[in-house]
Every structure is written in structure tokens, then in C-alpha cells.
Structure 1
Amino acid sequence: MKLTVLVDNTTLTDRYFLAEPGLSIHIEDGGTRVLFDAGYSGIFVENARKMGIDLLRVDDVVISHGHLDHTWGLDALIRLHTEAIFEGRERVEPTFIAHPDAFLTRSCDGVGEIGCHLSVEELFRHGKVLLTAAPLWLTENLVFLGEIERRFEFERAPPCGYIYTPDGIRDDTVVDDTALACRTEDGLVVITGCSHSGICSIVEQAREVCDEDRVADVIGGFHLLDAPPEQIEGILDYFSDVRPAALHPCHCTDLAAKIALAKVANVRETGVGLHLEYG
């Protein structure tokens, strides 16, 4: 499995890519290419071009959850495909995969829309759409984890505003937050978006779905910004037991959290341009 970071809050030193508060990761497993999230503005398209990654060959576009810093870049992907059709260029029609709540309207702190501004109906015009709360295997070893069971009290968080459902408006606990996991020779590689559902809960679900206790790496947002001490303590205890070979926390993970995590795990630098390969 090969993994390349296309969007993060930072770039690697002396790598001349664009960065923004958002996340997008390109994954190759066997002959399958997956785009995990699309960032905020669409800079992933330019970054991918510089890296020699052809986004027109992506088979699956997986959305970790519906927030704007992970979905608003979808506009740029749709433009890329639209222009390819006009020019008669070869392309793969992508399948968009997400939790059923991922494309609902959301608001927070007076902002009228912090969710994806594309509807499911609009996406259907540009590819297939597969919405599921259940785990879904994308390849023999790569799995969409589905709705995450929230297992740890120390990871409980207040609602992120409101979500507008067919049944009415409710507090937004981001139940659509999910992740990917890939089985490798060295254990699981878990790829997260923001981890609103809890980084420890996500890793536990990955271990359960994949029937594998070993964790080779966890990369992505850990949702640790000014995290309370009891949450940090619980996460450190958890990773002390799991003993991952490496951690690549990024995006929505602050410096204090990274320093704390480094006490119990091999925390490595992450940014746009990072390329990792796993057996």
C-alpha cells in the first residue's frame, strides 16, 4: 500500500507544495486508487499534478466526514473530470463513498454552512455514490470502517453545532466521522480525517473489523486542539497498551498533543509531500 499526503495544514520542509487547514490523502493498494478527502479549496489538484499523481484515475473518493475542510475541494475534482470529458481525455468515473449523513447541511457558531455544499443528487451526476454506515471493503486489504462505535468516555466531545436531517434539526455529534484501515505485513495502517469519533475508538474499530491487533501506523487528524488533560491521559494510556510502530498526527492535532504522544509512541513529521509505503 502506498500513501501520499496531498493536503495538510503544513508542507514538508523544502517541498514546494500548497497547504491549508484541511486534509487529502492519495492511496494506492494493488490496482485500486483511492482519494481520501478533498481538502478545503482544491489545492490537492495542483499538488497532485506536481507529484505526478493522475486524479482522473482515482477509483474511489472516500469522505471521512462532511465538514468543509474535507469536502469543499470536491468542486475542483468535478471540474477536473468535466474538463477531461470536454477534451476527450481518458478518465475513470469515480465512486463517492461516505456515511449517509456526510452530505447533510450543517451550521455552527453563526456560519450557515460548514458541511459539504454538494448534495447527493449533484454527486450522482458526476459518478456513482455509495452511502453506508457499515464497514465496506474497497480492496482485499483496505476497508472503509463505517460508523465508529464510541467506546471511550474520555473521548466524548460536545456537539459541533447543528445538522439538518429529513427528520429535523439536531445537535451535530458528527456520527458520520469515519476512517480507513489497511492490513499490511507489519500490522494495520489506520488513516483518519479528523477523528471526531475519537482516535482510540477508530483504532479499536479497525482492529476489530480487520481481526488484527498489531498497529503499524496511524496517520491523519487526531482532533486534539487544546484537549483536556483527562482526554490526553486516556489516549496516552491507550497507545501505551496498543504500542503502534509509528504515529503521523497532523491537520487538527496541535503541538502540545504531538509532544505528549511522543512520550508513548514514535511520532513522525507529517505534511504535504509525505510519501509512505507499507508491505
Structure 2
Amino acid sequence: MKLTVLVDNNTLIDRYLIGEPGVSYLIECDGKKILFDAGYSDVLLKNAQTLHIDLADLDDVILSHGHNDHTWGLNHLIQYYDRAIADPQKKINLISHPAALIPKYYHSRPIGLNHRQDEHDFFFTRICTREPLNVSEHVTFLGQIPRNNSFEATEPVGHTHDQNGELMDDYVLDDSAVAVKTKTGLVIVTGCSHAGICNIIDYAKQVTGETRIAAVIGGFHLQNADEETLSKTGDYLKHLAPETLYPCHCTDLAAKISLANYVKINEVGVGLRLDFAV
């Protein structure tokens, strides 16, 4: 299994790639090419080109949730396909929680998907599921994450629509993640962890039956987090004893410094490549 960071807030020194506040990772596993999130703009395409990565032959696109910094790059990906693939030989699976496709707002500003969904059909086969989905032999989309602890996912992020079209607080129930089974344990890939990074890890272990954690990479949703949240998250991760942690995107400097008191954390930036045997 190989993971390449195509979009992140940060870049790595001497790589000369482009950063933006978003997420996009290419996961290559079991003979499949899986794009996890698409960032905010066309940055994923520019970085992929610089890294000599061809996105024309993707098998799956997974959306961690429906926010703009994870989905708006999808428009640019569609435009790229329109230019590069005149007659697609296969459709790409577009996998998400169904609520990822519902409009979202923050202070009345739209922050959800920004393109017509019927345009997906030419290039994509949409797969919406709340249940876990085996994307390949070793890769699992977790679906809706149960929220079982008391210190995570307690505050809404803007608003969304209920089944009747009325506005309601958005607890981002569509927030999901991917778990990859490797020889050294699970590699868990997150977008923003609105469901809570500890909740996500617990559910990944439950769904896959694997208790060892080889690595966790992605946003941990720890921005301006209070001391209780940071300490409980740190205690959880220390007890879990993951081999490597890569908190990024929506994990601020204060949170990284706090977590570093409990576990070893690693730097993340565009162009980072991770390899794990499966």
C-alpha cells in the first residue's frame, strides 16, 4: 500500500509543490488507484502532474465528507477528465456517505458541494452508504462513524438540511474515513475527523477486526481545542500506542505540540509518500 499526499495545508522543504487548506491523498493498494478527497481547487491536478502521477486511470474517488476543502477539487477533476478522456472505458466509483451530497452552510455561506450532481453520471458511478464498504481486499470505507465518547464531536459545524428541507445544526454525520489492513496493522486515513479521531480509530478496529494501529494520517479536527479534549485525546493515543501519527490539515500547532507530549508525531506536507506492506 502506497499513500501520496497531493493536497495539504503544508508543503515539504525542497519539494516545490503547492499547498492549500484542503486534503487529497492517492492510495494505491490491491492493484487499485483510490483518490481520497479532492481538495479545494485544481491544486491536486498541478501537484499530481509535478509528481508524474496520472489521475486519468483512477478506480475510486472517496469523499471523507461534504465540506468544500475536500470536495471542490472534484469540479476540476471532472474538467480534467473531460479534456483527457473523451470516451471513458470505465466509470469511476464515487463513494461517500449520502449526507455528503446535501447542501451545507456556515453563517449562511455555502460550504458543501458546488457542482451539479447529475454531471457525475458520465464519469462516475455514485455509491452512497452509511455502512462500511470494502473498496478492495485491504481497503475499507468506514461509513457513518458511531460517536461513543463524551469529548469529541460535541459541537455542530454550520447547518445542513433535514429530510424536509429545513435547516438544522450540522454535526457532520457524513464524516468518515478509510482503514487499510497492512502487515503491521491498520493505516487509518482521515479527512477532518469531525466524528472524532478516537471514535474513528475505535470504529476502524471494530469493523476490520484488527487492533494494531500502524499509522494514522489526516486531519484530527483539533483547532482551538480545549485542554480537556487535548489531554483525553493524548491519553487515548498514548494507550493505543500507534507506530506513527501524521496529524495535519485541521490540526493546529498547539494541538500538535500537546499530542507530542504523549506520542511521537510526524510532519506532513504535499509530496509525502508512505509505504506499508499488505
TM-score by shorter chain over 0.5: yes
- The CA deviation string for residues 171-220 of structure 1, in whole angstroms up to 9 with x for no partner, is 11000000000011111000000000000000001011110111010000
Matched pairs, number: 276
Corresponding residue for 1:78? 78
Displacement of 1:52 in angstroms is 1.4
- The CA deviation string for residues 223-269 of structure 1, in whole angstroms up to 9 with x for no partner, is 10010111111101111111000100000000111111112222011
Displacement of 1:119 in angstroms is 4.3
Distance of 1:104 and 1:153 partners within structure 2: 27
Q: Does 1:141 align with 2:138?
A: yes
Corresponding residue for 1:264? 262
Unmatched tracts of structure 2, length 5 or more: none
Distance of 1:15 and 1:165 partners within structure 2: 44
Corresponding residue for 2:42? 42
Distance of 1:213 and 1:85 partners within structure 2: 41
Displacement of 1:156 in angstroms is 3.2
Displacement of 1:91 in angstroms is 6.2
Corresponding residue for 1:99? 97
Are the equivalent residues in 2 in contact too, given 1:57–1:92 (CA < 8 A)? no
Aligned pair in 2 of structure 1 residues 91, 17: CA closer, same or farther (>3 Å)?
A: farther
* 1:5 partner SS: strand
Distance of 1:94 and 1:259 partners within structure 2: 39
Corresponding residue for 2:239? 241
Name the aligned partner's letter for residue 81 of structure 1: Y
- The CA deviation string for residues 82-123 of structure 1, in whole angstroms up to 9 with x for no partner, is 11234x6x7652110000000111111231x10011344332
Distance of 1:193 and 1:228 partners within structure 2: 21
* 1:61 partner SS: strand
RMSD: 1.3
Corresponding residue for 1:223? 221
Q: Does 1:250 align with 2:248?
A: yes
Are the equivalent residues in 2 in contact too, given 1:62–1:96 (CA < 8 A)? yes
Q: For 1:150-229, what aligned pairs fall within 5 Å after superposition?
A: 150-168=147-165, 169-229=167-227
Are the equivalent residues in 2 in contact too, given 1:104–1:165 (CA < 8 A)? no
Corresponding residue for 2:3? 3
Name the aligned partner's letter for residue 83 of structure 1: R
* 2:160 partner SS: strand
Moved more, 91-100 or 21-30: 91-100
* 2:148 partner SS: coil
* 2:27 partner SS: strand
Distance of 2:148 and 2:276 partners within structure 1: 28
Corresponding residue for 1:278? 276
Name the aligned partner's letter for residue 276 of structure 1: L
Name the aligned partner's letter for residue 15 of structure 1: R
- The CA deviation string for residues 131-159 of structure 1, in whole angstroms up to 9 with x for no partner, is 00000001111100000000110113311
Are the equivalent residues in 2 in contact too, given 1:224–1:253 (CA < 8 A)? yes
Name the aligned partner's letter for residue 191 of structure 1: V
Are the equivalent residues in 1 in contact too, given 2:91–2:122 (CA < 8 A)? no
- The CA deviation string for residues 69-88 of structure 1, in whole angstroms up to 9 with x for no partner, is 000000111011111234x6
Corresponding residue for 2:63? 63
Q: Does 1:127 align with 2:128?
A: no
* 1:65 partner SS: coil
* 2:26 partner SS: strand
Corresponding residue for 1:54? 54
Are the equivalent residues in 2 in contact too, given 1:135–1:145 (CA < 8 A)? yes
Name the aligned partner's letter for residue 9 of structure 1: N
Distance of 1:166 and 1:121 partners within structure 2: 20
